[in-house]
Structure 1
Amino acid sequence: MRIPFVLAATVVLAAPVLAQTATPAAAPTVAATPAPTGAPSPNLLLAPSPLPLQYPPFDRIPDADIGPALDQGMAEQLAEVAAIANNPAAPTFDNTIVALERGGRTLGRATTLLMSLTGADANPARLKLQADYATRLAAHRDAIQLNPRLFARIEALYQRRAALGLGAQEQRLIERQYHQFLRAGAKLDEDGKARMKAINAEMAQLGARFNQNVLAEVNDSAVVVDSLEDLKGLDDEQVSAAAAAAKARGLNGKYLIALLNTTGQPVLAQLENRALRQRIYEASVARGSRGNGFDNTALVSRVVTLRAERARLLGFATHADFVLKDETAKTQQAVNGMLRQLAPAAVGAARREGAELQALIDRDQAARHQPSFKLAAWDWSFYSEKLRAEKYGFDESQLKPYLEMKNVLENGVFYAAGQLYGLRFKERHDLPVYHPDVLVYDVFNADGSQLAIFLADLYARPSKRGGAWMNAYVDQSGLMNQKPVVANHLNIPKPAEGKPTLLTWDEVTTMFHEFGHALHGMFSNVKYPSMAGTKVPRDFVEYPSQVNEMWADWPSVLANYARHYKTGEPMPRALLDKVLAARQFNQGFATTEYLSAASLDQRWHQLPLDQIPSADGVMAFEARALREEGYDYDAVPPRYRTPYFSHIMGGYAAGYYAYVWSEVLDANTVQWFKANGGLKRELGDAFRAKLLSQGGSQDALTLFRGVVGHEPQIQPLLERRGLVLEKTRTAGSPQQAAQP
């Protein structure tokens, strides 16, 4: 069943950083295309696209057509639902469940396009549509899921599902539909349903506002630099890009440092000017709580309150209880137990790393005959790069010339997929794109048959929200005879015209990560669209993408793409070995900044309704929660602070823990790959057949066990990150198996 929930929801996000690519010269650009003179053009959202695999005709869909398509799509789906609900025939799997799966196609196309474009290339018209339709789409969803006649038919099928003679996938679909309607409030009384509708309408409106505030605040908080001298440490390409960004805002002769939507900012690793580092850091962490027009503190308080009220309506003590019941974790206790087990080891490792950085600062300042200073959050990246160079003999600046964006994509990400799964990729320039930076590829199976179409949108721009994510323009479905069209979105800073795009190692890892999501979508081989691709529990969805990160530094893959952008010479073996040796470097920091954000998410959503702070208490609650969870180390702030924590205002509310929960599964699976030979076709084919192709058609942990052959264990994750739990260090006992 295709019911649009939120205009900014059904995308898969990533935790790391981002990446880039060269622009195909022949690729057409599009935005809102005016209708030609004469007869009005047909609205192409009202029918399946005639392009290959129903690829969206971006160049022929003006923004003005999206609203009418949403209106018609809602009307069509309500008529479809009425026909199902009022069918005089007894409910059957085909006339109820399959009919719902077939419905809502027009609305699905229109919401997918608007959701995707407001995330990747927003403009005032699209943002207005998002705001205008958020409440209406929430009401539309409620009109379907709170329809008593429709629910009665689904419930009747659910009650006798075992006697219907259906296959396992069909029985699971009935169960999913039934529980989805229950969680929407289908069994509430009329007063409860009325309140649920009001909550959903308000939350949809607030969610759209939050996303728009975050995008506006990132742009508004960019740091203006007057002097070239202050930019010492940046390379020529970065300086040129900063100058161009300033010029674009009418600030000729100045430099503009754009921000990403994370607490830490990449340039902090390079800038020698400590005062400027502090300015950038403080601008970053103040976003959303500055008391300006983009302040999100009141909005956060209200959204958390509404979520808690909705959970209580549905019989749950808190929003976290409501969310986790439908995930593999199941309970607050399971999530809290894991996070609190890892926190002391992570913070302890971070403090040890901080002590090394402080010693380096002391030595560095003494050599300059300058007084030392206490390590602060804006110093961490800068001095950790120095420490990396001291310990391992290299820093990011030595790696970047070997990490040109399109080469990483085609000779790294695609190469690994070819070796492991037999895939082949061919760039094409004949399909329209919504922005000239977007690359398009046909994806073929080993037998030459077409698997999917893949879009790579890798550059940052002011019209694009922060972070990295995957989304599907067309879901795979055997029922609808559809093959997937999927996209990856990153936020790699674009260099000045004519300059190469050279990546950081984090950006390389993010590119592999997001392509893992894309593979999950492209390999989907299920009948029903609501089970396709990444439609799995939130704490399982990151697992395949994290597994795909392992190929970024797999020796044969790395050797294939790590080549100097000017000479084509491979990365020297000595440098490659240093990269591999430094895998666990700075893992205390990386783990702590993530876990503190995950714990903050849980603390917000485990609050009972009567304990949620008002707007003026939001930041105080954040500080207290972090301190009480053991993250009282100021040098390592959370990856996201509450007012710009987009994950938890979207699909990851009470679910940001999913990255580390999934990483337990990932670390076990990496161990399985390595134990069985690594980058081998037979292993890739098995992973594809047993897990990646199954979507949500089977229980998530059953799929995991079917690949690795045992229950998930936490020890491989600890070993990977170089973390040792206190009881392990003192007692030497093996770790208990974790049950994500």
Structure 2
Amino acid sequence: MHNPLLERSTLPFEFPDYSALEAAHYLDAVQQGVAGQLEELRAIAQNTQAPTFENTFVAMERSGALLRRAVMAYWTVFSAHGTDELREIDPQIQSLVSGHQDAIHLDGELFARLASLDADALGGEDKRLVTETLRTFRAAGAELDAGRKEQLRALNSEITDLSSEYSRRLLGAMNEAAVHFADPGELAGLSDGELASAADAARDAGHTDGYLLTLVLPTGQPLLERLEFSASRRRLFEASVNRGQEGDNLTLDLGARMASLRSKRAALLGFATHADVVLQEATAPDLAAVRGRLAELIPAAVANARAEAGELEKISGSPIDPWDWAYYSAAVARERHALDRGALREYFELDAVLERGVFAAASRLYGLGFTERFDFPLYHPDVRTWEVFNEDGSTLGLFVGDFFARPTKAGGAWMNSIRESASLLGERPVVTNTLNIPKPAEGDPALVSLDEVNTLFHEFGHALHGLFSAGIYPSLAGTSVPRDFVEYPSQVNEMWALHAEVLPGYAAHTRTGEPLPDGTVQVLEAAALWGEGFATTEYLTAAVLDLAWHSLTDGELVSDPLAFEQRVLSEAGLIPELVPSRYRTGYFKHIFDGGYSAGYYSYIWSEVLDADTVEWFTENGGLKRENGERFRAELLSRGNTRDPLESYEIFRGREARIEPLLVRRGLARSTNA
């Protein structure tokens, strides 16, 4: 079998030849890559020369080229187009990679050599590499005795297997939970385009007729805002919140089992909880600080949510049910602010938002240029690529966009890297943005909601973080920063979505070409605080649920995950019966198969920096080239080459303040009361 992954790609940017790759190629390349890197690391550990920075730390950074190439290509395609063949090999690949990480971090001879280097004379990024590498090894159990290392390997292996199975079942649960409607009358409120898209989805799923409403990953489904009949809204909502609770695609038991194993692993590593382990690598100082921040925000957020519910009941005429919240909230926005969020979709066409909005803002701020290319072999026909240029015309990297939902794609939206900009390896960055926008019917424009507009800007903020990376070493480059910092650049980039100098460039009616009506931006700004009570409470509920699962101590078992959810959320002062969690245990992919375990708090933690940064841009003239250059030079390009909070303080000129966040979320008055 000829395996294209075994050699460096000859395509531009060393882009993988996805058209030639099959599932067996990925598995074979990972297997050979694991074996090859272990040989390289063994040579480093057994080098008879005295350890130096170059022959130890730099040599380790250079190792594993085949494995790195294979897993980056694989992780990109598996999450975005996880065919049956790829899902069949995924448990093997996940197990290989997890076991390989243990083999590296638990290698006593290698760690002894790393730890023996006198790094006092080093500085800058070299010093950072030594510090971060040793911290990673210690956090992974490098200093455990032989018996405990074996226990750790067994735990890591089981957790990895469960995580892979959770992901597999969740994809099945999402497809299984799609709601079929036979009568179009039940879908009153949806546009002709949405009905056509739902009819296509039904046929694609094997139905002979009718309409299929597929699910997105979060609890809140976008169509709840427009479906006119409460019974239809209820069916869609209940399908969403009940995912993973029964049948062959049961995920609840997997989540509970993973949380238990993580607590056992934490005890083995000398920590009270898994959350304490995770926070060793975060910018947050400790678990108490995170809990304190959430506890500080919950009372005001819940009070605002209850007040919003009161407004909704005035319109509905009865106590509000959670499946009716989005519908009546949109009605309040229309009545109070003359804002019809559903009608706004007619002004947001995907290509226009992307090219005349997202790309245009990046051009204004950073001098970037974009040229779409059609010469790359891609893993799905819907995927697109753009070459990205610096202001002087030099190539910066490649941007890959995969925007439409499909049954083989995981839910949600994310950024990934196929190549990272690390000068040691001589690579140019290749970054991806993957979303789940419903694909329109043939011939119809791809319309996006206001939330999806924000998601496009958000994910491109991650892409910029990867594209601008100017680090030397791959383990410190780009988005390789603490989990509670990585969302910050992406959240900042959302500020340009409705900016007065950006929005008119991309918002035009798809049929008439007319611009947004005069005053729309002002209406959107005035309406910005409406719904923040719900949004903040929904988010905080998920953050608290995550921490509850990962604050379990060794031996503390949960036999009824749903009862556990209800108890911990109620004890925290939240109201899940009215404002459900953004994610429940059955479909909380972020924490059970997404790297955010004990880290979902990161969004609000990062938003403190984000809101403070938006204030800085506003104070300094907004969408100006010099502002973008400062943000790029002092923050976006730095990755983890220095302490990210140090980068922030150099950029901002001081520590971050929480007040801009409280004002943005409508919490300032309630918090001060």
Question: What is the TM-score with the length of structure 1 in the denominator?
Answer: 0.90
Determine the structure 1 residue equivalent to 2:397.
452
Does 1:479 find its partner at 2:424?
Answer: yes
| Letter of the structure 2 residue corresponding to residue 141 of structure 1 | Q
Deviation at 1:252, TM superposition (A): 2.0
My pick for the range that moved more, 626-635 or 693-702, is: 626-635
Residue 49 (structure 2) aligns with: 89
1:250 to partner: Cα distance: 2.8
Report the Cα offset of residue 168 of structure 1: 1.2
Q: Does 1:173 align with 2:129?
A: yes
* Residue-by-residue CA offset, 1:142-198 (whole Å, 9 max, x unaligned): 1111111100011112xx211xx3231001100111111111111101110000000
Structure 1: distance between partners of 2:61 and 2:320: 56
The Cα offsets for residues 386-411 of structure 1, whole Å up to 9 and x where unpaired, read as 11100111212321111000100000
Counterpart CA distance in 2 for 1:670 and 1:587 is 18
2:189 matched residue in structure 1:
233
Structure 1 counterpart of 2:501, from 542, 548, 556: 556
Q: Is residue 2:112 matched to residue 1:161? A: no
Q: Which residue in 2 is equivalent to 1:108?
A: 68
| Distance in 2 (alpha carbons) for counterparts of 1:679 and 1:227 | 49
Kept after mapping to 2: 8 A contact 1:342/1:725 = no
1:279, CA displacement in angstroms?
Answer: 1.1
For 1:351, give the aligned amino acid: R
Unaligned runs of 5+ residues in structure 2 are none
| One-letter amino acid of the counterpart of residue 636, structure 1 | V
What residue number does 2:638 align with? 694
Residue 267 of structure 2 is matched in structure 1 by: 312
Return the letter of the residue paired with 2:205: R
Name the residue aligned to 2:454.
Answer: 509
1:322 is matched with which residue: 277, 281, 296? 277
> What's the CA shift for 1:727?
5.1
**Counterpart position of 2:301:** 346
Q: Given residue 513 of structure 1, which amino acid in structure 2 is its aligned partner?
A: H
Q: Secondary structure at the match of 2:319?
A: coil
Q: Does 1:599 align with 2:544?
A: yes
1:147 alignment partner in structure 2? 107
- 1:413-445 CA-to-partner distances (Å, cap 9, x unmatched) read 000000000000000111111111111000000
Q: Which residue of 2 aligns with 1:706?
A: 650
Hey, what's the Cα distance between the residues in 2 that align with 1:592 and 1:727?
14
The SS at the match of 2:100 is helix
Residue 625 of structure 1 is matched in structure 2 by 568
The offset of 1:576, in angstroms, is 3.0
Question: What are the superposed Cα offsets for residues 235-264 of structure 1, whole Å, 9 maximum, x if unpaired?
Answer: 001111111111223322211111111111
Shift of 1:137: 2.2
Residue number in structure 2 paired with 1:13 = none
Decide whether the 8 Å contact of 1:457 with 1:489 is kept in 2.
yes
Q: 2:24 aligns with which of 64, 67, 72?
A: 64
Please state whether the residue corresponding to 1:457 is helix, strand or coil.
strand
Determine the structure 2 residue equivalent to 1:15: none
CA distance in 1, matches of 2:547, 2:282: 14
Q: Measure how far apart 1:43 and its partner are.
A: 1.6
Q: Identify the residue that residue 12 of structure 1 maps to in structure 2.
A: none
Q: Deviation of residue 216 (structure 1)?
A: 0.7
CA contact under 8 A between 2:172 and 2:249: conserved in structure 1? yes
What code does the residue aligned with 1:673 have? F
Maintained 8 Å contact 1:85/1:149: yes
| Aligned amino acid, residue 148 of structure 1 | G
1:433 aligned residue: 378
Match of 1:75 in 2: 35
CA distance in 2, matches of 1:68, 1:656: 34
Q: Which of the residues 243, 254, 257 maps onto 1:287?
A: 243
- Pairwise mapping of residues 33-432 of structure 1 onto structure 2 (< 5 A)? 42-157=2-117, 160-162=118-120, 165-290=121-246, 292-362=247-317, 373-432=318-377
Give me the whole-angstrom Cα distance separating, in 1, the residues matched to 2:520 and 2:257. Answer: 51
Q: Which has the higher contact order (CA 8 A, sep 6+)?
A: 1
Moved more, 206-215 or 293-302: 293-302
**In structure 2, which of residues 644, 651, 662 is the aligned counterpart of residue 718 of structure 1?**
662
Q: What is the rounded CA distance, in whole Å, between the counterparts of 2:11 and 2:515 in structure 1? A: 40
Inter-partner Cα distance in structure 2 for 1:132 and 1:665? 39
Q: How far did residue 699 of structure 1 move?
A: 0.5
1:636 aligns with 2:579: yes
What aligned pairs does 1:517-536 form with structure 2 within 5 A after superposition? 517-536=462-481
CA contact (8 A) 1:134 1:201 kept: no
State the AA in 1 paired with 2:598: A
SS at match of 1:155: helix
Q: Deviations over 1:12-50 (max 9, x none)?
A: xxxxxxxxxxxxxxxxxxxxxxxxxxxx6x322112211
State the shift of 1:68 in Å.
1.4
Q: What is the distance in 2 between the residues matched to 1:590 and 1:139?
A: 39
Percent identity of paired positions between Structure 1 and Structure 2: 48
Match of 2:402, SS?
strand
Instruction: Indicate yes or no: 2:516 matched with 1:571.
Output: yes
Q: Give the TM-score, by structure 2 length.
A: 0.98
Q: Is the 8 A contact 1:477 1:527 kept in 2?
A: yes
> How many angstroms does 1:712 deviate by?
1.4
SS at match of 2:432: strand
Letter of the 2:597 partner, please give it: A
What's the CA shift string for 1:304-351, capped at 9, x where partnerless? 111111111111000011111210102111000100000011111111
The match for 1:734 is none
- Structure 1 stretches lacking a partner, 5+ long: 1-39, 363-372, 730-740
Query: Per-residue displacement from partner, 1:453-501 (whole Å, max 9, x unpaired)?
Result: 0001111110000010000000111111111000000110111111111
* RMSD between superposed Cα atoms in Å: 1.1
**AA paired with 2:379?**
Y
**Which residue of structure 1 aligns with residue 589 of structure 2?**
646
Q: Which moved more, 1:650-659 or 1:123-132?
A: 123-132
Letter in 2 for 1:140: H
The CA distance in 1 between the partners of 2:297 and 2:274, in whole Å, is: 23
Contact 1:136 1:201 in 2 (8 A): no
Contact 1:114 1:130 in 2 (8 A): no
Letter paired with 1:485? V
> What are the Cα deviations for residues 506-532 of structure 1, in whole angstroms up to 9, with x where unaligned?
000000000000000000001001111
What is the one-letter code of the residue matched to 2:563?
Answer: A
* SS class of match (1:655): coil
Q: Secondary structure at the match of 2:249?
A: coil
Residue 666 of structure 1 is matched in structure 2 by 610
Q: Which amino acid aligns with 2:518?
A: R
Where 1:293 maps in the other structure, the secondary structure is: helix
